Structure 1
Amino acid sequence: MKYRLENSNFIIQVESKGAELEKFTSKKDNFEYIWQKDKNFWAKSSPILFPFVGGIKNEKYFYDEKEYRIETKHGFARDNEFVLSDRGENYLEFLFESNEETKKKYPFDFKLFLKYILDENTLKMEYRVENLTDGKMYFSLGAHPAFNVFGQPGENYIEFEKDEIGKSLTAESIGVTDKIRDIFEGNILRFTDETFKEDAIIFKNTNSKKVWLKSDKSDRIVEFDYNGFEYMAFWSVPKSGFVCLEPWDGLGDLVTSNGQLTEKEGIKKLEKGEMYQKSIEIKIL
C-alpha cells in the first residue's frame, strides 16, 4: 500500500513494503528528487538495511553455537511488509516486527520503526530499533536512498562539510577486502559511472556529518545530514541517472570473517530492553 504526505512545498510517497520512500516531489517545478525504480538498473528507490548491511560471507553466520542462513544482501526488512503504526499532519510512522519467519534467519525479537517527518523543505527519516529479546541483540542498520542527479556524467559532484582523506574500503562479491582505494582528497567528490565500477565506495568515520549533492549545470542542491552513522557509502549503476547516499551503522562481512555474529565488523549491540535511535535529514535548498 502507498501512503502520501504533503505540505505547501513537497509531496512524499512511501510504499508499505519495506517502508520505502518512493517520491519526494517539488510542488514548485514538479521535479522528482527520488530516483524512480527501474528493474533494468535497480528495482529499489530507498530500501532500509536491517538487520545486516551488505552481504554475509557464505550466506551463513553463527550465534550462540547455532548456524543461521541468510541469502539476501542487506538483511530482509526491505522485502517485508511494514504496518502504519502512527500518522499525523506532518508525519508517517511504520513498524516491522520479528515473527516466526524472521526468527529462522535471525534469532532475536525486535521492533523496527521508520518515521517520516516532512517539515517545510526538509524530510527527516527516524530509525528506531527496540530489543525485545530476553538477552542481548546484535544488528546493523543503514539507509539507501537514491537521488536523481541534476547533470550529465562529469557534471555531478558531492560536497563534504569538511575536508576528507577519501580512502575507500573495497566491497567485492566475495566480501569487503582490506584493499584501500584513494578516491579523492579535500571536500569535493566528483563522480562518473567509472567511480563505481568496483561497487560502492565506503568511508569510515568521516570528518563531515553532512554532504551536498550538486551539479555544475544546475542550481538544485540536496543537503544530506547523516550525523551519528559510522560509515558513509556512495553507489550507482552506470547510465542509470541516480546516485545513492548511504549512511551505515554496520558493514558487509570481511573476506576474513570467521562468521561469528558477535565478532562481525561494525556490529551494534543492544542490551535487553534497550533502544537504538538514529536519523537522517534530507533538505532541498
Structure 2
Amino acid sequence: MRLPIFKALVGVLLLASTACEPLSEQDGGYGNPERTPLWVALDEARLDGPGRHHVEYLDLAKLRILKEKHPGRFSRLAEIGVGEALRRSDDTGIPLKTASSAALFGRPPAQAGLLRGRFDVDGIALSLNRLGYTRNQQVWQRAEQDGLSVVEPGEDLVTYAGSLQTHEQVRPPSKVPRLSGSTPHRAVSWCLGWPLAAVLTEPGSPGEADLIGAAANAVEAEFADGADFTEALCYHTTGDPEALAERLRTALREGASARTGKPWRDLLPGAEVEVGQDATVRLSFPQTGDVGVLVEALSRNDVPL
C-alpha cells in the first residue's frame, strides 16, 4: 500500500528484554539520551558532516555475550558499525575481536569509523608501520585508497577513514557542533534507548522519513537463556505524531512489504504503535526468531512507512 508522503526521522530498534533493572520511568522508559552509548557515539561526529545522513553503532562486547547465549540469531547484524576495510583486515594490530563498541559515520567512500576499548597504541603503531603507513603526529596514513587509509590510534579510542578530510568528521574540535545536538537525532536516540546495535540513515529521496535507524538493545552483561527480543521502528516527525501513528497502524493492517510481497501483519506479528516523547512514534513487535528483521528491511528501504 502506498501511503501519503509524511516527513519524519525514523529509528529501528532491536531490544533484548531481560530481567535486568528497567530504565527509569522518569526517562519515559527509553533512557536518557545523554547517557546512552548511541548518544555518546553521536557526540563524536560533526553535525555538518556525512554522519548527519548515516550513522551505525554496535556494542561489540554485549553482542559477543548474546551470541554465546543465542547462537545463530544475529547474522543480520554482522556488518553493522564496522567498516568493510577493517572487517577484512586482520594485520593492522587493531583488536576488533576485543573492542567494546564501534560506530560508523557517513557512507563509503565518505565514511569514518571509531572503535572504543582498551588498545595497545604502540602495538598498533608497529603493525601500521609494517603495512607501509606513515605517521604525522598522531595520525597514520597510507597511499592505498580504502576505508582504512587513515588511522588514529589511542588508548581508549581508535578512529579511521578513507581520507584525511573524511577523518575530520570524527573527534572534531570542542566548539564544533556535534550530531548529539541535532534535535531529531536526540529524539530518536531517546526513543531507541540503550542500543546493542543501531543504524540511523537518511533515505536517498524525500518521503515519509528523512532519516531511518536500526538498533539492538541490551543493558547488562548477564543474559538469561530464555531472554526474548523486541524489534522496533522509531520515527521523529515534524508533523503530527498522532497522524503518523495512525498511518503506521493502517500500514500494519493493510500494507505489504515491497520486496517480499508479504503483509506487514504477518512479517511483524503482534506489532504495536505508540506516540512517544519529543514528536516520536514507535512501532515495536516481539521477536522469537532471528534478530534483525527490521534492520534488514530498513537496509533495503522496505519499511512500513
Same fold (TM over 0.5): no
Between Structure 1 and Structure 2, which shows a larger proportion of helix residues? 2
TM-score, normalised to structure 1's length?
A: 0.27
Between Structure 1 and Structure 2, which shows a larger proportion of strand residues? 1
Which has the higher relative contact order, 1 or 2, with Cα contacts under 8 A spaced 6 or more apart?
A: 2
